[in-house]
Chains A and B, each alone.
Chain A
């Protein structure tokens, strides 16, 4: 490389003498071997062989010799690291975070050194030991010569003629035969899933179903949820481990101070200023739950649709097109919060069959 001091820069490089050269000593002033070979070939010009394109010796034997040692060191290092990898694999058990950390560090470092050693060694090899060459290869035009194209066309047409493909009955019935064949793979995919039906319009919420706090799975009384500014994720009792049900039925309840809630929130569906909204964003279905008790915003962490919890969770920013549906709430005989029905509009992302009735903000009864 050009940025390392090159012993050959000074013509009378004294440094060459102590290290007995393995390649023939070059006398100053004679051309480098590659060139001398070339000249030789030129002089004995009756050889039909052109000068060798790849000279068999390095451009700079001194540097090549030094590089050889460095390359060998790189490869040795790589081999050692490879052994180190195996040693680390055998020696370091993993059974938790800290042991994995040690193992990952040891295995990863040794593997990196294996490849770095090989890579650096190979590049130094190419750059310092292989002679620098630049060869030229001619490109042939990619287009075939006209006569070849003609031959092709003739052969093709001859084949087509011999095949009798021009007979309309054969051609049409063959095409006809392939049409159902193309449809068969599609038909076979039919049983990949059930038809949607109206399932996107409903959740598992039913009249009388208790709201339970997700996680501990405990029901709530309005009195338990009494501080204005409270928010918690609830799910229908009995469905806490049913992911398909939860993907639509997950709900948040928020407690307000008396008189804070405003239309289009349906007041009949609240209990003691506790309001329940679907937690499934009407944009593409992320759970929305970044509730800010100061601004009453419910923000979706995925695409930042923002809903105003005071005003029936209407949309105030972002790509969601519909308010979060409101779940009608009541209490059961034991005083626990229950749903008094399913959501009145579909929850979650829009879909083709949703229709305009899905856009009434949940206050349709």
Chain B
């Protein structure tokens, strides 16, 4: 029961904040767009009321149909109370949310909202029940990270689903671990922190923020490095190699042997 009352209180607070936000919109807008709020969004407590208000209005238009007017969850979508700003930022900035349709796995798509809007929604959700915050640029920076440790952690705890090169892989019942090709360092960090969908959580006391940066450094370095041996063939292992050996190798040699043994036809 205390949970419900808490939520009611928040709902009222939310509405109040919307009104407040609308009143101060003109002044606040410039500051928000000028500084797309890594600092502001870094911790939910520091989110401005205006930002929360904007987030709430975006939420009510786009997200509430599945997650409920107060993010309490419906049969269509889970409750978002307590998931934190990081989870929202991950889902929205990767375009997974808002979802077009419910499927086994939400695919990555171009995001619907820009960074400021995403952070506003994240701030709103964070204001409902805390949860992990969006990491700052410094927190996810691969500079100076220990890539050897990152490699070791990646191979032990990430590669089993995302593949040795982050190319992704299949899970049960149509789910899949997505490719990490386009994930930003922030998104990788958020995914570890919040465990989106089927992914397990790797909280900061198990994999420390420094170790998360090591993993990010390994992923981003390896995925952007050149393929010295030619085209990568998708970096998914020997399956494509076998395909190329047959289609490209045996196939072209069959053409060569046909040419070599072609009967000569003299036209006289």
- For residue B153, CB closer than 8 A to chain A, the reply is yes
- Chain B residues, Cβ within 8 Å of A322: none
**A223 cross-chain contacts in B, Cβ below 8 A:** 205
- A267 an interface residue at 8 Å Cβ cutoff? no
Residues of chain B within 8 A of A254, CB atoms compared? 200
**Given A104-B230, A295-B173, A317-B172: A232 touches B202 (CB 8 Å cut-off):** yes
Asked if residues A100 and B208 are in contact (CB atoms below 8 Å), the reply is no
Q: Mark B87-119, 1 if CB is under 8 A from A, else 0.
A: 000000000000000000000000000000000
B46: interface (CB < 8 Å)? no
Residues of B within 8 A of A56 (CB): none
Contact indicator A233/B200 (Cβ below 8 Å): no
Segment at the B interface, from A64-72, A140-148, A175-183, A211-219: A211-219
Q: With a CB–CB cut-off of 8 A, which chain A residues contact B200?
A: 229-231, 254, 291-293
Among A220, A294, A317, the residue within 8 A (CB) of B198 is A294
With A229-B195, A299-B171, A301-B169 as contacts: A216 and B225 at CB distance below 8 Å: no
CB distance from A188 to the nearest CB of B (A): 36
User: Is there contact, CB below 8 Å, between A292 and B169?
Assistant: no
Whether B266 and A59, one on each chain, are in contact in the complex, defined by CB atoms closer than 8 angstroms, is yes
Chain A: residues with Cβ within 8 Å of the partner, total of: 51
Indicate if A290 sits at the interface (CB-CB under 8 A): yes
- Collect the chain A residues with CB atoms within 8 Å of residue B198's CB: 292-295
Contact A293 B199, CB 8 Å, known A2-B264, A100-B228, A317-B172: yes
List of B residues within 8 angstroms of A299 by Cβ: 171-172
Indicate with 1 or 0, residue by residue over B239-268, a CB within 8 angstroms of chain A CB atoms. 000000000000000001001101011111
Query: What 0/1 pattern do residues 125 to 163 of A give for CB contact below 8 A with B?
Result: 011000010000000000000000000000000000000
Stretch in B3-11, B17-25, B156-164 touching the partner:
B156-164
Contact indicator per residue, chain B 161-196, by CB within 8 Å of chain A (1) or not (0)? 100000001011101010000000000000000010
Tell yes or no: B226 within 8 A of A by CB.
yes
A269 contacts the other chain (Cβ, under 8 Å)?
no
B149 located at the interface, meaning its Cβ lies under 8 Å from any Cβ of chain A in the complex: yes
Q: Name the prevailing secondary structure of the A interface residues.
A: mixed
Is B206 a contact partner of A224 (Cβ separation < 8 A)?
yes
Is A227 interfacial (CB 8 A cutoff)? Answer: yes
Chain B 53-80: CB-based contact to A (< 8 A → 1; otherwise 0): 0000000000000000000000000000
Is the beta-carbon distance between A232 and B226 smaller than 8 angstroms?
no
User: What's the minimum C-beta distance from A236 to chain B, rounded to whole angstroms?
Assistant: 15
User: Contacts of A231 on B, CB cut-off 8 Å?
Assistant: 157, 200-201
B267 CB contact (under 8 Å) in A9, A101, A127, A225: A9
Given A100-B228, A213-B207: A230 touches B201 (CB 8 Å cut-off): yes
The residue in chain A whose Cβ has the minimal distance to the Cβ of B157 is A233
Nearest-neighbour CB distance to chain A for B105, whole angstroms, equals 11
Determine whether B45 belongs to the interface, using a CB cutoff of 8 Å to chain A: no
Q: Given A230-B200, A233-B156, A293-B198: A98 and B226 within 8 A (CB)? A: yes
Q: Which residues of chain B are within 8 angstroms of A228 by Cβ–Cβ distance?
A: 201
Residues on B with beta carbons closer than 8 Å to the beta carbon of A227: 195, 201, 203
| Residue in B156, B260, B266 whose CB lies within 8 Å of A132 | B266
Say whether B206 contacts A230, CB under 8 Å.
yes
- Give the residue of A2, A224, A306 whose beta carbon is less than 8 angstroms from that of B172: A306
Is B211 interfacial (CB-CB < 8 Å)? yes
Decide: A214 near B152, CB < 8 A? Known: A293-B199, A301-B169: yes
- Taking a contact as CB atoms under 8 Å apart, the answer to whether A215 and B149 are in contact is yes
User: How far does the alpha carbon of A292 sit from the alpha carbon of B100 in the complex, in Å?
Assistant: 23
Q: Is A328 an interface residue (CB 8 A)?
A: no
Once bound together, how far apart are the Cα atoms of A101 and B225, in whole Å?
11
Task: Return chain B residues, CB-CB under 8 Å to A100.
Answer: 228
A215-B156, A229-B200 given; A132·B264 CB < 8 A: yes
Query: Which residues of chain B come closer than 8 Å to A295, judged between CB atoms?
Result: 172-173, 198
Tell me whether A292 and B175 are in contact (CB under 8 A): yes
**Partner among B149, B177, B264 whose Cβ is within 8 Å of the Cβ of A216:** B149
Is A287 interfacial (CB-CB < 8 Å)?
Answer: yes
Taking a contact as CB atoms closer than 8 A, the residue among A101, A216, A288 that contacts B211 in the complex is: A216
CB interface residues, A 278-310, toward B, < 8 Å: 287-295, 297, 299, 301, 306
State how many angstroms separate the Cβ of B72 from the closest Cβ of chain A.
18
Closest 4 CB pairs between A and B?
A224-B205, A292-B198, A231-B200, A100-B228
Give chain A's interface residues, CB within 8 Å of chain B: 1-2, 6, 8-9, 59-60, 97-98, 100-101, 104-105, 108, 119, 123, 126-127, 132, 213-216, 220, 223-233, 254-255, 287-295, 297, 299, 301, 306, 317
Interface contacts beyond A225-B205, A230-B202: sample of 18 additional A-B pairs, CB < 8 Å, sorted by A: A100-B228, A126-B260, A214-B152, A215-B152, A215-B156, A215-B157, A216-B208, A224-B203, A224-B206, A230-B195, A230-B201, A232-B202, A232-B206, A289-B160, A293-B195, A293-B198, A299-B172, A306-B172
